[in-house]
């Protein structure tokens, strides 16, 4: 079975690599700024649309994994920042408070001409310490938050002000790896394999 | 002011590097298997003894940061594993359950001949999913857990079975970086600087 990761995120690529599986990367071109009736529906639909686009380009047996992550404060979605000034504004809003990170993962798979879809959506709470002006300057200068929802990355220098989290850490990095492993095992078992390692080797 | 990290852990080195500060590494030779009356006292004393040893070798103005991390399940301390079989036993005990990770950080500093000490001890709860036999084999084979308390690392392949955490993530990786930054700022302010960046530049 071919496995395709429908995301250009180096963090998702690294996380999926931990499974030991070989996979290709084919990013979708789907526009990330579309919105649905609420944030949960939005993140699910964005992940769905990205995966669907890549899945429809494939023929034969294949599994496509796609994902979208949003950062939410007071019900408002924080995207990737437009520029450093915008990043600074976002980070000051998140400073000293708890926000939500929601990631949805879509699994599109076709095996013997039968196409199926599964999805999981996981929410993690993240609390920032108060971001002092010197830490803000230090952080913005690294550029680490430039391409990230909420203007921060949790896997490196963002840890300078991340006080605590409640829930899946991997979910904040890119996607909820341990939950994805459970779904991979479920898919494997639908086809009579014991687990995903056995299934993908076959 | 010279800054010394009294730890050989590449993870602590990476975390402290995020502060932007220059520092030396001088690991202590203190024996990690000593025990005190309870786990919290043990982790604090281990961090203290490591830092004290390195601090006493220095002269002049200096700040030494040391740390120790323990993994606790049902009040029992999980050390680094003796071998892969031991690692497997530990991981099966942690499988599907919540455990505690406790890290203590000691700050020994001397400025104008006045020596001082501060410490922080931070607890994080980590919940594992059930570790399936194939994931166990995959994980052990990577050797990632060989040199780590509790036989796993949370910053890479350990995420295959880490379900959720409650508290500081950096604390589980190596030490609680955002709490350390707060202490560094406090020390800086004791000496009339606004923050650690200004203090260490002076």
Active-site entry in B68, B82, B137, B179: B68
Say yes or no to pLDDT of B31 above 90. no
Query: Would you say residue B26 has pLDDT above 90?
Result: yes
DSSP B69-110: EEEEETTEEE-S-SSHHHHHHHHHHHTTSEEEEEEEEEEEEE
Residues B92-112, mean pLDDT to the nearest whole number = 97
Cβ <8 Å between A157 and B15: no
Q: Is B68 a catalytic residue?
A: yes
Q: Could you write out the three-class secondary structure of A44-77? A: HHHHHHHHHHHHCCCCCCEEEEEEEEEEEECCEE
CA distance B75 to chain A (A): 22
pLDDT at B32 over 80: no
CB contact under 8 A, A18 and B167: no
Question: How far apart are the C-alpha atoms of A114 and A109, rounded to whole Å?
Answer: 8
As given in the structure block, the two tokens for residue A142 are 């690294």
Cβ pair B160:A166 closer than 8 A? no
Please report where in the chains the tokens 């994805």 appear, as a residue: A180
Residue from A137, A141, A159, A193 to probe the interface with B (highest B Cβ count within 10 Å): A159
Cα B192 from chain centroid?
29
- Give the residue from A135, A178, A189 with the most B CB atoms within 10 Å of its CB, the best one to mutate: A178
Whole-number pLDDT of residue A115: 97
Phi, psi of B21 (to 5 degrees): -85, 150
Does residue B24 have a pLDDT over 90?
A: yes
Residues of B with CB under 8 A from a CB of A: 15, 18-20, 124, 129, 132, 134-135, 138, 154-157, 159-170, 177-179, 181-182, 185, 194-198
Residue B202 has pLDDT above 90, yes or no: no
CA B202/CA B193 separation, integer angstroms: 9
Q: Is B134's pLDDT higher than 80?
A: yes
What is the structure's pLDDT at B172? 96
**Known catalytic residues of A?**
68
CB contact under 8 A, B169 and A185: no
Who among A155, A160, A170 is closest to B177 (CB)? A160
Taking CB atoms and an 8 Å cutoff, what residues of chain A touch B194? Answer: 134
Are A162 and B156 in contact (CB < 8 Å)? no
For chain A (202 residues), the mean pLDDT of every run of 10, in chain order, is 95 97 95 89 97 97 96 94 96 98 98 96 98 96 93 94 98 97 97 94 76
pLDDT band at B34 (very low <50, low <70, confident <90, very high): confident
Nearest-angstrom CA–CA distance, B193 and B185:
8
Contacts with A194 from chain B: Cβ below 8 Å = 134
Nearest CA in chain B to A16: B160
pLDDT of residue A33: 80
Whole-number pLDDT of residue A201: 82
Strand duo B24-25 + B2-5: pairing: parallel
So what's the pLDDT on residue B201? 82
Give contacts of A167 with chain B, Cβ < 8 Å: 164-165
With beta carbons less than 8 A apart as the criterion, state whether B171 and B122 touch.
yes
């Amino acid at each position: 079975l071919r496995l395709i990761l429908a995301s250009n995120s180096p963090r998702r690529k690294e996380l999926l690599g931990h499974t030991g599986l070989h996979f290709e990367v084919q990013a979708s071109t789907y526009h990330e700024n579309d919105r649905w009736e609420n944030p949960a529906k939005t993140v699910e639909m964005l992940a769905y649309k990205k995966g669907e686009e890549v899945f429809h380009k494939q023929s034969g047996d294949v599994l496509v994994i796609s994902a979208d992550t949003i950062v939410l404060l007071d019900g408002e979605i924080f995207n990737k920042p437009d520029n450093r000034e915008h990043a600074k504004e976002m980070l000051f809003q998140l400073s000293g408070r708890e926000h939500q990170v929601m990631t949805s993962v879509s699994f599109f798979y076709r095996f013997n001409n039968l196409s199926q879809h599964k999805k999981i959506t996981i929410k993690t709470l993240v609390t920032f310490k108060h971001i002092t002006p010197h830490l803000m300057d230090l952080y913005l200068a690294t550029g680490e938050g430039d391409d990230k929802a909420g203007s921060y990355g949790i896997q490196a220098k963002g840890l300078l002000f991340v006080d605590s989290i409640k829930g899946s850490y991997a979910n904040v990095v890119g996607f909820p790896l341990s939950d994805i492993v459970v779904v991979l095992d479920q898919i494997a078992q639908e086809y009579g394999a014991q687990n995903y390692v056995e299934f993908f080797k076959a």
